[in-house]
Amino acid sequence: MSTSTPRHRRRAARPFARLGAHCVAAIALLLLASGTARAQSAGSTAPAAPAPAAAHAIPLGGVPDLQGIWDFTMLVGARRSTGFFALGPIEHGWAGSLTPDSTNTLAIRLLTVQGDSFRMVVASREGDVPFTGRLSADAQSMEGIVEYHGGARLPMTATRRVRRTVAR
């Protein structure tokens, strides 16, 4: 009879070891992105001062940072349709979800920016709905036209929510 660990038990532990390493790496990246790791490594005990919103507007490379939550208002005749959308970076732009106050959440397939112009593509059951327009110079607001199915063109504006900072 062998005293070594059975073969199936040795292999079962390997995926968990890899998963642990990936989790540690993800947490480290999160801490670096938030600035916490830098403040701690410098020996500072004071909380990092929050950066103004404009400091996050244009990162390296000249492409605006649109990550965050945006409140929107779309005019549908005399009625206002409101809600919010959340954006996060993807390979060639931004993607996320759009949640009108009156209906279900929809996927934002892609939002791209070229100069001060943007194009957002929102998925719906009837097909994609584009929102095109202009981005403000400080990347805190958008204004444009939503082109619905059947040719309806509706004005829409969006304003980035101010990020709350939490004292540490």
Assess whether 66 and 32 both reside in one domain.
no
Residue 143 belongs to a domain: yes
Please, which pLDDT band fits residue 55 given cuts at 50, 70 and 90?
very low
**H helix intervals, the chain:** 7-34, 36-41
Dist. CA 22–CA 40, nearest whole Å: 22
| Whether this model's pTM surpasses 0.85 | no
Q: How confident is the model at residue 86, as a pLDDT?
A: 97
Q: Report the mean per-residue pLDDT for the chain.
A: 75
Same domain, 87 and 108: yes
Please tell me the distance from the alpha carbon of residue 103 to that of residue 82, in angstroms, as a whole number. Answer: 10
Tokens describing residue 27:
């947490």
| Residue 62 pLDDT | 66
Same domain, yes or no: 73 and 18: no
pLDDT at 82: 97
Share of the chain above pLDDT 90, in %: 52
Q: Residue 143 belongs to a domain with what CATH number?
A: 2.40.128.120
Measured between its terminal Cα atoms, the distance across the chain in Å is 57
Q: Quote the tokens at residue 75.
A: 């005019």
Same domain, 11 and 80: no
How many other CB atoms are found less than 10 A from the CB of residue 64? 19
Residue type at 6 in one-letter notation: P
Reported as a single tens digit per residue, the pLDDT across 77-112 is 999 999 999 999 998 899 999 999 988 999 999 999
Within this chain, do residues 73 and 16 fall inside the same structural domain, yes or no? no
pLDDT for 39: 38
Tally the domains of the chain.
2
Do 128 and 78 have their domain in common?
yes
pLDDT-wise least confident of 50-59, 81-90, 110-119, 125-134: 50-59
